[in-house]
Structure 1
Amino acid sequence: MPDQHNPPGDTADDSHVNFSMVIASAVHDMKNSLGMLLHSLDSLREEHRDTLSGSLRFNTLQYEAERVHSDLVQLLGLYRLGEHTLSAHSEEHFVPDFLSQHLARHRPLLEGHNISYSIDAGEVLGYFDEDLLTGVLNNTINNAIRYTRSKILLTAEQRDQFLVIGVEDDGEGYPEHMQKTGSVDPKPVDFNSGSTSLGLFFASSVARLHRDGPRQGFIKLHNQGTLGGGVFEIWLP
Structure 2
Amino acid sequence: MSDPKPPEQGNQPVNLPKLDFSMVIASAVHDMKNSLGMLISTLDDLRTEQTDTDSSGTRLNTLQYEAERVHSDLVQLLGIYRLGEQKLSAHTDEHYVADFLKEQLARHEPLLKGYGVAYDVSADDELTGFFDEELIAGVITSTINNAIRYTRSQILLTARADETGGLVIGIEDDGSGYPEHMQQAGTDVLLKSPDFRTGSTSLGLYFAAAIANLHQNNGLAGKIRLRNGGSLGGGVFEICLP
TM-score normalised over the length of structure 1: 0.91
Which residue of 133, 136, 140 maps to 2:136? 133
Partner of 1:68: 70
Partner of 1:83: 85
Partner of 1:177: 181
Supply the RMSD in Å over aligned alpha carbons. 1.8
Structure 2 distance, partners of 1:176, 1:49, is: 43
Structure 1 distance, partners of 2:65, 2:55, is: 13
**How do residues 1-237 of structure 1 correspond to structure 2 at under 5 angstroms?**
7=14, 10=15, 15-51=17-53, 55-122=57-124, 123-160=126-163, 161-180=165-184, 181-183=186-188, 184=190, 185-189=192-196, 195-237=200-242
Structure 2 distance, partners of 1:36, 1:83, is: 27
SS of aligned partner of 2:53? helix
Conserved 8 A contact 1:168-1:225: yes
The 1:190/1:62 distance shift into structure 2, 3 A limit, reads farther
Q: Encode CA deviations 1:135-193: one digit per residue, 9 max, x unaligned.
A: 100000000000000010000000122200000001010000000443412322366xx
177-186 vs 94-103, greater mean Cα deviation: 177-186
Gaps of 5+ in 2: 1-11
Gaps of 5+ in 1: none
Partner of 2:8: none
Structure 2 distance, partners of 1:190, 1:210, is: 30
Q: How far 1:52 moved relative to its partner?
A: 7.0
SS of aligned partner of 1:145? helix
Q: How far 1:57 moved relative to its partner?
A: 1.3
Structure 1 distance, partners of 2:35, 2:223, is: 32
Runs of 4+, deviation exceeding 6 Å:
none
Residue type of the partner of 1:152?
I
Residue type of the partner of 1:172?
S
Conserved 8 A contact 1:186-1:198: no
Q: How far 1:202 moved relative to its partner?
A: 0.3
Q: Which has the larger radius of gyration?
A: 2
Conserved 8 A contact 1:53-1:59: no
SS of aligned partner of 2:240? strand
Q: How far 1:50 moved relative to its partner?
A: 2.3
Aligned residues: 227
TM-score normalised over the length of structure 2: 0.89
Percent sequence identity is 61
SS of aligned partner of 1:232? strand
